[in-house]
């Protein structure tokens, strides 16, 4: 007698992690929500989260994470004036003791608040713009660009005149023939 063995589907362990936050001004405390979700079909153990940008947002879960289940938690961190995008990494172990990993790129989850700007019309005067709340700042790049162009023109000017800088020395006078000098070979002296 043949006994049929139950057919087993291959295990598909999978994990997902997401970090969300609300827009915050640099220097202020921000609240982040981190969600770890088992998107596979087997329970996962040793679930942990590591955040390379905000270490306080890391976490470890002692209890197993069943298929379809999620764990959510919040963390607080001060938003820096400039912080490069980071990565949140969730790791776990499946029933066969194989590692399972998921990452989330935190680029853009915290933005500076947008400031309303007023586009000046071409004929606007500085005092009109100031009364509208527009601050005028000098353009330092324009000045730097003009200095660089001037330096370039000075540097290339000797090459524009056949290698001679004609600004510093007057051009040599044309040669006047010396009447007392001997004539060149093959030429006769002009009659006087």
Q: In what order do the strands lie in the sheet with 15-21?
A: 15-21, 29-38, 70-78
Query: Where do the H-state alpha helices sit in 50-139?
Result: 126-131
Q: pLDDT tens across 116-166, in order?
A: 444 555 555 555 545 555 555 555 555 556 666 666 666 665 555 555 555
Residue 54 has pLDDT above 50, yes or no: yes
Q: Which residue has the higher pLDDT, 134 or 65?
A: 65
Handedness of CA 161, 163, 168, 173 (dihedral sign): negative
- Residues 72-89: what's their mean pLDDT? 81
Q: Which residue has the higher pLDDT, 29 or 144?
A: 29
- Residues 49-69: what's their mean pLDDT? 91
Residue 99 has pLDDT above 70, yes or no: yes
**Predicted pLDDT of residue 183:** 62
**Predicted pLDDT of residue 3:** 66
Residue 52 exposure: Cα atoms within 13 Å on the Cβ side: 12
**Predicted pLDDT of residue 137:** 52
Between CA 67 and CA 77 the distance in angstroms is: 30
Comparing CA positions, the residue from 61, 13, 10, 72 lying closest to residue 38 is: 13
Highest mean pLDDT among 17-31, 69-83, 94-108, 149-163: 94-108
Q: What is the pTM of this model?
A: 0.52
Q: Identify whether the C-beta of residue 65 lies closer than 8 Å to the C-beta of residue 14.
A: no
Residue 190 has pLDDT above 80, yes or no: no
Cα torsion 5, 7, 8, 10 to 10°: value is 140
Cα torsion 149, 153, 155, 157 to 10°: value is 170
Domain boundaries, the chain: 15-105
Between CA 60 and CA 57 the distance in angstroms is: 10
Residue 58 has pLDDT above 70, yes or no: yes
Extract the tokens encoding 162: 């056949």
Between β-strands 87-93 and 70-78, what pairing exists: parallel, antiparallel or unpaired? unpaired
Which CATH number is associated with domain 15-105? Answer: 2.60.40.10
Could you tell me what percent of the chain has a pLDDT over 70? Answer: 48
**Predicted pLDDT of residue 56:** 84
């Amino acid at each position: 007698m043949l006994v049929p063995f139950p057919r087993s589907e291959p295990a598909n362990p999978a994990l997902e992690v997401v970090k969300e936050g609300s827009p915050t001004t640099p220097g202020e405390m921000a609240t982040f929500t981190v969600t770890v979700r088992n998107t596979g079909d087997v329970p996962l153990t040793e679930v942990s989260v590591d955040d390379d940008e905000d270490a306080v947002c890391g976490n470890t879960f002692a209890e197993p994470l069943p298929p379809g289940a999620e764990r959510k938690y919040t963390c607080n961190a001060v938003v820096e004036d400039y912080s490069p995008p980071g990565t949140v990494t969730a790791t776990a172990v499946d029933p066969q003791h194989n590692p399972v990993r998921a990452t989330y790129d935190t680029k853009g989850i915290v933005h500076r608040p947008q400031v309303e700007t007023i586009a000046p019309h071409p004929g606007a005067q500085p005092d009109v713009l100031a009364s509208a709340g527009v601050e005028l700042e000098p353009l330092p790049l324009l000045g730097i660009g003009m200095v660089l162009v001037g330096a370039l023109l000075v540097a290339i000017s000797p090459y524009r005149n056949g290698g001679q800088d004609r600004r510093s020395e007057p051009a040599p006078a044309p040669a006047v023939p010396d009447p007392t000098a001997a004539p060149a070979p093959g030429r006769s002296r002009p009659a006087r």
